[in-house]
Amino acid sequence: MAVGQRRSGSRVSANTGPLQIRCSRTFPCGNCSAASAKCEFRESDYKRPPVSREYVTALESRIASLEGFLARLKEANNDERNQILDEVEIKDYVPSFSGLPLEDETTLSEALMKASLQETVDGSMIYHGPTSIFQNDIRDANASTSTSSRPSPFQGDRSSLTTQTMRLCLGLFFYWQYPLFMFIDREAFVAEFEDNPIDGDFCSIPLIYAAAAIGALMSKDLNIRGRAQTFAEIAQHILTTEGLNAPRPTSVQALLCCGYYEIGQGNISRGWMFAGMAFRMGQDIGFQRDPKHWDSEEKPKSLSPFPFDNEFRRRIYWGCFLADKIFSLFLGRPPFMYENDADVNLSEPLPHDPPVWENWLFSHDLGFLKTVRPAGPKLTLLFNQQIELARIIHDMLSTTFAPKKKNDSHARRWTEVSLNKLNARLVAWHEALPTNMRWKKWFTNKDNLQPNVAILQ
């Protein structure tokens, strides 16, 4: 073929090279046939720059994702297919990182999980996740401040706290309500209540008053029951005026107690707000991340005989998670806490030797509040069953009763399928309960329904 200048509108084979040999307008063209090369034509009349490897990889990933989607669609039945199509969004199909080298993939994973606990000037620990603009903003003053010498934001008269009335209210609180309030470490709380009720790691003034307010409601003495509102107001005043500037685990616990108290009193909006503050403060101090992710130097230093351990943080996170589902279910509102936003392990039973709780009761003439043996199921195992039930409640609220689903053309059929799945999960959960956690429908006069069993029913 002759070599010449390309005219406008002429087709050039992609393989003719810089000489720009005019195409024979046959397919394949003569030059490509002679070279045993694939004959391709550019759509435009100018030479394009080569496509980057990253772009090709991205396209390959998108194609693989679409092929996988089509495969799932083909294998699904009619109901599942409709649900898949309802949920699909084009933005779901993004490039995969599976093709990255192992070292790059590890670096990327670490960057996505990067988080830190930073100590503030007042000694509290606050959490910064991977996208935080304060991730590396560690001030020298903060680094030099020790949590063991931090000033307490709460001030009060110790003699007004450690009274027999207050002990009775706290004893009633733990006797009747502890199965639902296991986000408080009972043994550590009562130990610090006697030794350091104002500035402890497990006990604080607002937490004492908040727990006492709930416990007072369980008293048969009308005078003690009448003090519940006063206790609650004191706790709430301290939390809103002093506690918000210095987030602490005990403040999260106290806010949760205030939320339960107010909703129990019929003050729905007030209780909802206190619970929401507890959830936010818990995230502020990083309870959504399992303690195993923190280095020992990042954990707050505790002077308590009960160490700042993993269970302490886990209990508070799951207590918030459980409260979120209970309040959302009772009030018919969307849940706030999603389990995908956290990586906290379930709570594990811990031995209590010596029996701190029982010893505390008998030393203050409160032995009548001791749990009668057999005590029923282990409280930690019961707490984990509540968490499993809370997961079912969360899925029910976020899917079955989601308002957006009601506008779907197949809403009725989808609702039937969703309700059937919900019922199956609830039945499976109940059938999997150990015998000692099940409520007996028929009781005799000699049987006592234990609070820790009633909480699941």
Same domain, 297 and 180: yes
Q: Is residue 143 assigned to a domain?
A: no
Residue 232: predicted pLDDT: 97
Q: Is residue 6 assigned to a domain?
A: yes
Same domain, 157 and 41: no
User: Which among 209, 206, 218 is positioned nearest to 248, based on CA atoms?
Assistant: 206
Residue 145: predicted pLDDT: 45
Same domain, 313 and 175: yes
Q: Is residue 137 assigned to a domain?
A: no
Q: DSSP state, 125? A: E
Q: Which residues pair with 318 in a beta bridge?
A: none
Same domain, 185 and 257: yes
Same domain, 199 and 318: yes
Which two three-digit tokens encode residue 88? Answer: 């699909």
Peptide bond preceding 305 in cis form (omega within 30 of 0): no
Last residue of a domain, one of 349, 369, 389: 369
More confident residue, 158 or 330: 330
Residues 6+ positions from 260 with CB-CB distance below 8 Å: 180, 181, 214, 271, 275, 323
Helix H or strand E segment including 328: helix 310-331
The percentage of residues in the chain with a pLDDT greater than 70, rounded to a whole number, is: 65
Q: SS3 breakdown of the chain: % helix, strand, coil, rounded to 5?
A: 55, 5, 40
User: Which among 303, 258, 255, 284 is positioned nearest to 152, based on CA atoms?
Assistant: 303
8 A C-beta contact, residue 232 and residue 258 = yes
Which of the listed ranges 199-213, 372-386, 389-403 does the model predict with the highest average pLDDT?
A: 199-213
Tally the domains of the chain: 4
Same domain, 183 and 290: yes
Q: Which residues pair with 264 in a beta bridge?
A: none
The pLDDT tens digits for 135-179 are: 555 444 344 444 444 455 556 667 778 899 999 999 999 999 998
Q: Is the pLDDT of residue 128 over 50?
A: yes
Lowest mean pLDDT across 45-59, 196-210, 325-339: 45-59
Same domain, 278 and 359: yes
Q: Is residue 124 assigned to a domain?
A: no
The pLDDT tens digits for 208-257 are: 999 999 999 999 999 999 999 999 999 999 999 988 888 899 999 999 99
Q: Is the pLDDT of residue 305 over 50?
A: no
Q: Is residue 347 assigned to a domain?
A: yes
What average pLDDT does this structure show over 38-53?
60
Same domain, 288 and 380: no
Q: Is residue 32 assigned to a domain?
A: yes
Q: Is residue 399 assigned to a domain?
A: yes
What average pLDDT does this structure show over 15-34?
59
Same domain, 43 and 103: no
* Separation between Cα atoms, residue 121 and residue 119, nearest integer Å: 7
* Separation between Cα atoms, residue 63 and residue 219, nearest integer Å: 67
Same domain, 356 and 402: no
| Predicted confidence band of residue 435 (pLDDT cuts 50, 70, 90) | confident
Residue 199: predicted pLDDT: 76
The pTM score is: 0.69
Q: Is residue 436 assigned to a domain?
A: yes
Same domain, 185 and 247: yes
Helix H or strand E segment including 127: strand 125-128
Last residue of a domain, one of 11, 27, 48: 48
How far CA 13 is from CA of 9, 51, 328, in Å, comes to: 13, 17, 66
What mean pLDDT is reported for the chain? 76
Same domain, 211 and 328: yes
The pLDDT tens digits for 64-115 are: 878 888 888 888 888 788 877 777 665 545 555 555 566 655 555 555 556 6
Number of H-type helices and E-type strands within the chain? 18, 2
Last residue of a domain, one of 369, 386, 410: 369
Range(s) of the domain holding residue 29 = 1-48
| Predicted confidence band of residue 445 (pLDDT cuts 50, 70, 90) | low
Residues 6+ positions from 264 with CB-CB distance below 8 Å: 214, 217, 271
